[in-house]
Amino acid sequence: MSMDKETVRKVAGLARIQMDDAELETMAPQLSKIIDWIEQLAEVDTDNVEPLANVVNINLALREDKITDGDCADKVLANAPEDVQGFFVVSKVVE
Amino acid sequence: MAQLTKGKTGEWETVIGMEVHAQVIAESKLFSGASTKFGAEPNSQVSLVDAAMPGMLPVLNEHVVEQAIKTGLGINSQVNKHSVFARKNYFYPDLPQGYQISQFDQPIVGEGTIEIDLKDGTVKEIGITRMHLEQDAGKSLHDQHPTKSYVDLNRSGCALMEIVSEPDIRGPEEAAAYISKLRMILRYLGTCDGNMDEGSMRADVNISVRKPGAELGTRAEIKNVNSVKAVQQSIDFEVQRQIEILEGGGEIKQETRLWDPDKNETRSMRSKEEAHDYRYFPDPDLLPLELSDEQIERIRKTLPELPDEKKHRFMDEFGLSAYDASVLIAERPRADYYETVAKDRDAKLAANWVINELLGILNKNDQDIADSPISAENLGGMIGLISDNTISGKIAKDVFAEMYKSGKDAGSIVEEKGLKQVTDTGAIEAIVDEVLAENPDNVAAYKGGKDKLFGFFVGQVMKKSQGKANPAAVNELLKQKLS
């Protein structure tokens, strides 16, 4: 499968990565090569094989419904570029 | 019967499917131990998992899983023993992970049906497509600053159940009945408090219109519909909008629209369009969720009597009409109250008093049945006094008013105020004679054929007895004496 420039532009947009035309031109063939390489996996016959979620036979761990965390607004906000009265402050996002 | 809307080119049928988000009642969040309590200080109920700090891992809340199973059983749906959590990728400031942990192609609950009750007394089945568990997002405040938005992550990571219906709903009335019934079931189950004001239940409504019998039309998805009234209003608006476009030769664009309750209109949310590529994939931090038959059966045994079962039991056991039964079962505490009142008593009379008098006065004073100054035992006692002829229905209204005011039981009020009904025929006969003697003209007129005067004599006798004469005895005696 080859990734054309427009597909790379779309994927970059979804990932919020800004790329100019020159970068798209460079990236498209590189990404295509990576995908081609991975696509070799499609050659393996997986008919009648259940998807494998993990290689060791364990079940999903569950926890009791108890309040054991939170109440640490200072830690949560520690890396925020801007905060006011306990809120994160970001550029206006409303339409 | 499908409800049709008349347009210029004929009639249109509305087709609706709903996605209801219901916050699961639990102490802590879906994947972290932070509290879910509503109304706390901003960001005070956020763990480093909810804030998506690097390296933090989600651990699933066992109780939430049980709540989801309970809900699946309560909405008559298939509980899937194998389900998978997936990442739904998008960017928004109130979603610190950059993805929402949800379920995609393998949800915890599959197909089912619920019954809705319509005004004309008919029952309609609405299909459930699926129900899955997912994380709620945080909350953004846009009105605190001219150029900034404020973000509170307290709600981030709270457990939601998203219940998706089939496009079986045919108009605003059915949509309202659907969300009301769903809310009732969740409240009976105790899996969601159904509080739409606080956002613990929210609906997205998918609406399209078509000529009856035609292929499905293109739909618009309406977001932010947060009350039963808003559900109805947004459908009314959207149906008109779509019919006008189609009849004007235009086409409906498949898009997300926002309901504005202040302006009573829906408007396009353009920014949502491009983001609709969510690139779901199984969350590598979480193994598939496996349930056992034993676990599901154990939870099935804890299910309470659900609204529809209760309704049918009230109709069979107490001889109530479908309407009366549906009013009484609307809230579980109300149904419990009624059952106490009706226990070993005239159940229909009890239903009348609870529905017409008690709910009437509670509504007027904006009270809940839990705040009722009249206990169920005391109201039952009063019903007993009516049934054994100690008081008449008319006197009972005064007793009821006094009970509401003082909270006392009916027996002591009747005793204190001397309201006991006079059933002694001798005493009533004396009053009847008095009334007839005082009104010779009317007696003559009655005998001359003015039958309507009978009511006048009854009224006079009741008045003289201060309402205490047994009405049946009064009727009987008057009939004898006037014939």
Would you call B215 an interface residue with chain A, using a CB distance cutoff of 8 Å?
A: no
Residue A24 falls inside a structural domain: yes
Torsion of CA B298, B301, B307, B308, to 10 degrees: 100
pLDDT at B442: 87
Q: In chain B, how many domains are there?
A: 3
Q: In chain A, how many domains are there?
A: 1
Domain boundary among the residues B298, B318, B338 is at: B298
> CA B272: distance to chain centroid?
31
Q: Based on the fold, state whether residues B177 and B91 are members of the same structural domain.
A: yes
Overall residue count recorded for chain A in this entry: 95
- Helical axes B307-318 vs B172-189, angle rounded to 10°: 90
Q: Which residue has the tokens 């009791």?
A: A64
Q: What is the pTM of this model?
A: 0.84
| Cross-chain Cβ contact A91/B271 below 8 Å | no
> B325 phi and psi, to 5 degrees?
-60, -40
Residue A12 falls inside a structural domain: yes
Q: Using a CB-CB distance cutoff of 8 angstroms, which residues of chain A are in contact with residue B275?
A: 14
Q: Based on the fold, state whether residues B55 and B154 are members of the same structural domain.
A: yes
Per residue in B384-433, pLDDT (tens digit) is 999 988 888 888 998 999 999 998 998 888 888 777 777 777 888 888 88
The pair of three-digit structure tokens given for residue B4, joined into one six-digit string: 């049709």
Q: Using a CB-CB distance cutoff of 8 angstroms, which residues of chain A are in contact with residue B151?
A: 87-90
Residue A17 falls inside a structural domain: yes
Domain boundary among the residues B279, B298, B317 is at: B298
Strand partners, B6: B11
| Cross-chain Cβ contact A94/B149 below 8 Å | yes
Strand ranges inside B144-270, DSSP E: 148-152, 159-165, 201-210, 220-225, 255-260, 265-268
Of A58 and B354, the one with more pLDDT? B354
Q: Using a CB-CB distance cutoff of 8 angstroms, which residues of chain A are in contact with residue B287?
A: 53-54, 58-60
Give the number of other Cβ atoms within 10 Å of residue A27's Cβ: 18
A78: Cα within 13 Å, side-chain hemisphere: 9
pLDDT at B23: 97
Residue A90 falls inside a structural domain: no
Q: Based on the fold, state whether residues B80 and B202 are members of the same structural domain.
A: yes
Q: Which residue has the tokens 């249109």?
A: B12
Residue A30 falls inside a structural domain: yes
Q: Based on the fold, state whether residues B93 and B117 are members of the same structural domain.
A: yes
Q: Based on the fold, state whether residues B173 and B29 are members of the same structural domain.
A: yes
Question: Could you tell me the sign of the dihedral formed by the alpha carbons of B428, B434, B438, B444, in that order?
Answer: positive
pLDDT at A2: 78
Whole-number Å distance between alpha carbons of B83 and B69: 12
What domain range includes position A33? 5-43
What domain range includes position B87? 4-298
Q: Give the SS3 label for residue A27.
A: helix
Q: How far is CA B329 from CA A81, B326, B363, B476, in A?
A: 52, 5, 16, 39
Domain boundary among the residues B367, B396, B417 is at: B417
Per residue in B329-363, pLDDT (tens digit) is 999 999 999 999 999 999 999 999 999 999 999 99
Q: For residue A10, give how far its alpha carbon lies from the nearest alpha carbon of chain B (Å).
A: 9
> With a CB-CB cutoff of 8 Å, which residues 15-54 of chain A face chain B?
16, 53-54
| Cross-chain Cβ contact A60/B151 below 8 Å | no
Tell me the Ramachandran region of residue A70: left when phi exceeds 0, alpha when psi lies from -120 to 50, beta otherwise: left
Whole-number Å distance between alpha carbons of B140 and B118: 38
Residue A80 falls inside a structural domain: no
The pair of three-digit structure tokens given for residue B137, joined into one six-digit string: 């997002």
The pair of three-digit structure tokens given for residue A26, joined into one six-digit string: 């460079």
**For residue B139, which of B67, B39, B278 has the smallest C-alpha distance?**
B39
Would you call A95 an interface residue with chain B, using a CB distance cutoff of 8 Å?
A: yes
Residue A22 falls inside a structural domain: yes
Minimum-distance CB partner of B59 among A63, A84, A93: A63
CB-based contact B54:B80 (threshold 8 Å): no
Q: Based on the fold, state whether residues B410 and B431 are members of the same structural domain.
A: no
pLDDT at B420: 78
Q: Which residue has the tokens 């049928």?
A: B13
Q: Based on the fold, state whether residues B432 and B412 are members of the same structural domain.
A: no
Average pLDDT score over residue span A39-46: 93
pLDDT at B272: 56
Q: Based on the fold, state whether residues B339 and B468 are members of the same structural domain.
A: no
pLDDT at B1: 46
Residue A95 has pLDDT above 70, yes or no: no
Whole-number Å distance between alpha carbons of B112 and B133: 16
Give the number of other Cβ atoms within 10 Å of residue B164's Cβ: 18
Residue A25 falls inside a structural domain: yes
| Cross-chain Cβ contact B28/A72 below 8 Å | no
| % residues pLDDT > 70 (chain A) | 97
Q: Based on the fold, state whether residues B144 and B50 are members of the same structural domain.
A: yes
Q: Based on the fold, state whether residues B75 and B208 are members of the same structural domain.
A: yes
Whole-number Å distance between alpha carbons of B57 and B157: 12
Q: For residue A81, give how far its alpha carbon lies from the nearest alpha carbon of chain B (Å).
A: 13
> With a CB-CB cutoff of 8 Å, which residues 275-334 of chain B face chain A?
275, 277, 279, 282, 286-290
Average pLDDT of chain B is 92
Minimum-distance CB partner of A95 among B44, B46, B269: B269
Q: Which residues of chain B, if any, have pLDDT below 50?
A: 1
Q: Based on the fold, state whether residues B79 and B138 are members of the same structural domain.
A: yes
pLDDT at B125: 95
Q: Based on the fold, state whether residues B144 and B270 are members of the same structural domain.
A: yes
Greatest CA span in chain A, whole angstroms? 58
